[in-house]
Structure formats: structure tokens, C-alpha cells
Amino acid sequence: MSANVLTIEAAKAAQLGILEEQDTTQAVHDVIVAMRANRRSGTANTKTRGEVAESGKKPFRQKGTGNARQGGNASPINRGGGVVFGPRPRDYSKQVNRKTKRLAFASALSDRISSGDVLAVDDLKIDDGKTKSFVSMINEIAGTEKALVVSSSFTDNTYLAARNVADSKLSTAAEVNTEELLAYDKVVLTESAMTILSSRTAV
């Protein structure tokens, strides 16, 4: 299967929203940070001295031992005591404006196209569902296994063939995101993906 490097001119002819001479670094940064923050569960938790399972009994008498006074074993300086300033459950999620998301997506795609990292193919499907067939095809098209394949949809056998290849990913044109566009060495676009991406990159 042959693949052609998608040029800026070809992308414009396919009505993809190409951004040139526009500084969108902040938009891309905000979107990537928000996506990674939204994946965090925020469930890390530690117990304070008031929550640990220790009795309130004084470990030794107040005076006469020569030791510093202590009121209980739950003190943070003791083994098994509470934690000071430890993590508590929290919400890490960040909100990003819809226009900023669209700008970042168009910017990421434009950057990959201008760098010559986007390849265009008519279609991509694996009929036999074998991983070996998928790896062979990706290496032939992109020259590397670390590739993102974007199409409007994929057959079940194509998903089966690609699911065990750790460095590659199949993503539909409606669901591919900014982080994915930047994470792989090569991006392979099918003809059917162009139409959907043209609407997603209109800024």
C-alpha cells in the first residue's frame, strides 16, 4: 500500500483548517495539561493524627522522665502516627473553552503536516485480523510502528490486528484528540478521515 506525505497545499485542497504564522503554543499547552489533569483520579489519601487508630493514652507521664512531653501515640513524630500535610482527595479537573480546544487541535494537526509527519492513504484495513499483517502494513506505510492511524471507522478485524501493537493506535476522526496527534512519530490519515477533520479544524 502506497502512502503520500500530506503537504500544506494538499491539506488546504482537502479543506483542512491549516494555521500558519499564528502563535498557538498557549492553547496547545492548556489543552494538554487539562487532558492529563482530567485523567487523574485524585483519590490519594492520608490520615491525620485525629484519624489514625491510636488510643488517646499518654505514652508516659508528663514530668520526670527527661523526655519531651507527649500527649498520645498519634503524634506525627511517632511511627504509626498521623501524617502532616499529606495528600487528601481532591478534584484535579480543569475546564478549557471549546474554542481553545478547537484551536489547539487545528494547531497540532497543522504543525504535524508542516513537519512532513502526516501521511495520506486511500484506506487502511486488515482483512485477516492478524497482528503480523498490521505491523507489516504500518512499517511499509510509515516506516515505524509508532504511528497513529486516523479513519472515519475501522473494521472489526482491523481493530483485532492492531490491539496488541503497543506503539500504534487506531483512532476515529471524530474522537482523535490533540494529545494523540502529538504523541506519535507518524500520523496516517485515510481519505474518509479528511472530511470529518475538515469540520473539526475550522477555526
Which range of residues forms the domain containing residue 194?
Answer: 4-40+93-200
Q: Are residues 31 and 57 in the same domain?
A: no
Same domain, 82 and 178: no
Render each residue's pLDDT in the chain as its tens digit; 203 residues.
Answer: 677 888 888 888 888 888 877 889 999 999 999 999 999 999 999 999 999 999 889 999 999 999 999 999 999 999 999 999 999 999 999 999 999 999 999 999 999 999 999 999 998 889 998 999 999 999 999 888 899 999 999 999 999 999 999 999 999 999 999 999 999 999 999 999 988 998 888 76
Calpha distance 94→61 (Å, rounded):
51
Q: pTM for this one? A: 0.84
In this prediction, residue 34 carries a pLDDT of 97
Pair 120, 142 in one domain: yes
Domain count along the chain:
2
Q: Name, in order, each residue with C-beta under 8 angstroms of 25's C-beta and a sequence gap of 6 or more.
A: none
**Residues 144 and 57 placed together within one structural domain of the fold:** no
Same domain, 53 and 143: no
Residue 115, class by beta-carbon neighbours within 10 Å (0-12 exposed, 13-18 middle, 19+ buried)?
A: exposed
Nearest to 126 by CA among 145, 164, 154, 153: 154
**Same-domain status, 58 and 138:** no
Q: Clarify whether residues 100 and 82 are in a common domain.
A: no
Domain check: are 67 and 115 in the same one?
no
What's the pLDDT at 74? 94
